[in-house]
Amino acid sequence: MAVPITTSKDYPSMSRDDVEALIADGRKIIIVAQHVLKVDPWLPYHPGGDKAILHMVGRDATDEVDVLHSYSARQQMMRYAIGKVEGRWTNFVPPIQGGVFRTAAEIADQTNDLRCAREDSSASVSREPSPVFDSGEGQDVKHRLGAKGSAGSVSSESLSEEEEMDGLSYLDTLTEQHIKLDLDMYPDLDEKTQADITNKYRQLHERIKQQGLYQCNYRAYAVECARYVSCLVASLVCVSYGQYFLGALFLGFMWHQLVFTAHDAGHMGITHNFQIDSVIGIFIADFMGGLSMGWWKRSHNVHHIVTNAPEHDPDIEHLPFFAISHRFLTNLRSTYYDRIMQYDAFAKFIIRTQAYTYYPILSVARFNLYFLSWDYLLAHRGPRKGPAAWMRWLELAGQVFFWTWYGYGVVYCMIPDNWSRFVFVMVSNMVPSPLHLQIVLSHFAMSTADLGPRESFPQKMLRTTMDIDCPEWLDFIHGGLQFQVIHHLFPRIPRHNLRQTQKLVQEFCNDVGIPYALYGFTKGNKKVLGKLSDVSRQAAILAKCQRAIAKKGVFADH
C-alpha cells in the first residue's frame, strides 16, 4: 500500500471535471493516494522547488511522493487535501508541459451540447471526451504514427528522399520512429497493463522496506569519512612540500568522493531526517566543495520527475555543447530555465563534433557548477519561506568558507607562483570529472521519447535510465551512481544497500516484462558516444534538408 495516510476527516468526492475546472482556474492540483490536494500554498515552501510540483499538476503523484518524501512529509501533505477521487486516476498533461484545461463554464456548455446531441440523434453517443485526455495519448499513439511510424530510419544514404523532405518533416519522422521503437520494446500503455505494473512496483517497495534496505549502514560511512580525511591531509601535506600536482590530485579525489555522500544526504538517505541530512549535505557540498546543495536539490528533483524529457529535464539540457536528441535541433523551450535553448550557429558547429568533444567538455564541467551555484544563491531561486528558507544563509556562509580555505588559504597562500596556482586549480577541478561522466552515462544513451501521461512511473524510470555493471570492489569509485535504475525507482535507499536491492528490481522487471538496461562501463560509454554521433548525423541531414529547401526558394516556416 503506497503512501500510508492516516486521517479521520471525510473528504467530498470529486469528479474528473471538478479537478479539471480547478486547474483551469489556475489551481495547482495533484492526486495522492486517491486524495485531491490543492498545493498552491506550498509552492513557495517546497524545499525541492516549485518546478517539481508543477510537473505533477493534474497527475497521480502517489508513487513520486512516496519514494521522494519521508513518512512525516507525506502525512503533512494531508493539510492540503480538499477531496477524494474514485477508481484509477487517468493523468492530465500538466499546464507547464502544455496541457489545456476546460473551465467549469466550458465543461457545462459542452455537457449541454452533448445532451442536445443525444436528444437530436438516435445514435448512441458516449460521454464528451476531454480535449487533453481522450485525444489519443498512450496506447492510441500507435495509431497516430500511421505509415510513417513503421518506416525505417532516414539515413544519410537516402539522399533523394532527404532533398524532397523539409527539415521539420524530417524531425517529425524521427520523433515518430523513436516513439514506435519504445512502444514495440516496452509493455502496452493500456490502463490494465500499466495498473498491474504500478501495483507490483508498490508491492516491491513494501518488500524492500520489510527487508530493511532503508536502514543506513553507518559503519560504511565511517570508512567513507576516513577516506575523505586521508585525501585532504595528503593534499595539504603535498602542497606544503611543494608537490602541487600531487596535492591537486588528492584534493580532486576527495571532492569526487564527497559528492556521493552529498547526493545521499540530498535524498535523505543517511538519517532520513530532512533537517539533519540537509545540514550534512550543505557542509559537504558548500563548505567543503563550493557547490550549492539547494541548487542541486531544485535541479535534481525535477530530473527525477521528468527524467530525460528534452523540454523539462535540466540534466540533459546542455546546448550548445551537447544534444542527445534531435528535438534539441528545433530551438526547444526549457520549462526549467524558462527560456529558448537556441540551436544557433555556435551550437550547430559544436554539435557536429560532440562525440569528440564529449570527454574534454566533461573534464571541466565542475567550473559550470560553481556558476550555477552562485546564480541560484544570489538570485534567491530557492524557497523563501518554510523549513528550508534558512538554509540559503547557511549555504552563503559555506561558500564564503570554501573560497576562503581553498581560494585564499591553499591556492593563494600556500602556492607561490601563478602558473603553479593555475595548474593546481585546473587539476583539482578536473580530477572529479569521472563523476560527471557517471551521471550522464546512465541517461544520455536512453530514450528521450514522450509516451504520454498513461505511462506509469516505474516504466518511465526503467525506460530512461540504465545501470552500469562493475565488480563490488569498485563500488567506491562509482559511489552508487552505477545503480541509477534502482536509485530512480527508490531514491531514498542508502547507496550501500543498492547492490542488494538490484536483485529485487531485476526480478520485478522480469515479472512485468520491462527490459532492464545493464551495461558494462565500456559498453555504456560506447552507447553514449553512439547516441551523440547519431544526433550529429541527424543535425547534418537537417542542414542538408534546409539547404535543399532554400535552393528551391521556399522559406516559409523553415
Q: What is 351-415 written as a DSSP string?
A: HTTHHHHHHHHHHTHHHHHHHHHHHHHHTT-S-SSSTTTTHHHHHHHHHHHHIIIIIIIIIITT-
Flag whether pLDDT at 171 surpasses 60. Answer: yes
CB contact at 8 A, 497 and 267: no
One domain for residues 89 and 212:
no
**CB within 8 A of 390, min separation 6: which ones?**
none
pLDDT of residue 119: 65
- The string of DSSP letters for 64-131 reads HHHHHS-HHHHHHGGGGEEEE--SPPPPPPPGGGT-----HHHHHHHHHHHHHHHHH-SS---PPPPT
pLDDT of residue 211: 95
Q: Cα separation of 327 and 324, whole Å?
A: 9
Which grid coordinates belong to 98? 502544455
pLDDT digits 0-9 by tens, 389-436:
999 999 999 999 999 999 999 999 999 999 999 999 999 999 999 888
Residues 189-209, buried b or exposed e (16+ Cβ, 10 A)?
beeebbebbbeebbebbeebe
* Total tally of structural domains belonging to the chain: 2
Show the domain range for 334.
200-519
pLDDT of residue 2: 53
Flag whether pLDDT at 135 surpasses 90. Answer: no
pLDDT digits 0-9 by tens, 252-271:
999 999 999 999 999 999 99
Average model confidence (pLDDT) across the chain: 88
Last residue of a domain, one of 52, 72, 104: 104
Q: What is the CATH number of the domain that holds 57?
A: 3.10.120.10
One domain for residues 100 and 206:
no
According to DSSP, the β-strands at 333-334 and 81-84 are: unpaired
pLDDT digits 0-9 by tens, 47-103:
988 999 999 999 999 999 999 998 888 888 889 999 999 989 999 999 999 999 999
Cα distance between the two ends of the chain: 51
pLDDT digits 0-9 by tens, 72-84:
888 888 899 999 9
Domain contains 181: no
pLDDT digits 0-9 by tens, 113-129:
777 776 665 444 333 43
Domain contains 384: yes
Angstrom CA distances, 393 to 180, 195, 210, 465, stand at 49, 44, 39, 35
Percent of the chain with pLDDT over 70: 88
Q: Is 220 left (phi over 0), alpha (psi -120 to 50) or beta?
A: alpha
Domain contains 110: no
Last residue of a domain, one of 50, 82, 104: 104
Last residue of a domain, one of 46, 73, 104: 104
pTM: 0.88
Flag whether pLDDT at 167 surpasses 60. Answer: yes
Domain contains 7: no
pLDDT digits 0-9 by tens, 521-555:
999 999 999 999 999 999 998 888 878 777 776 55
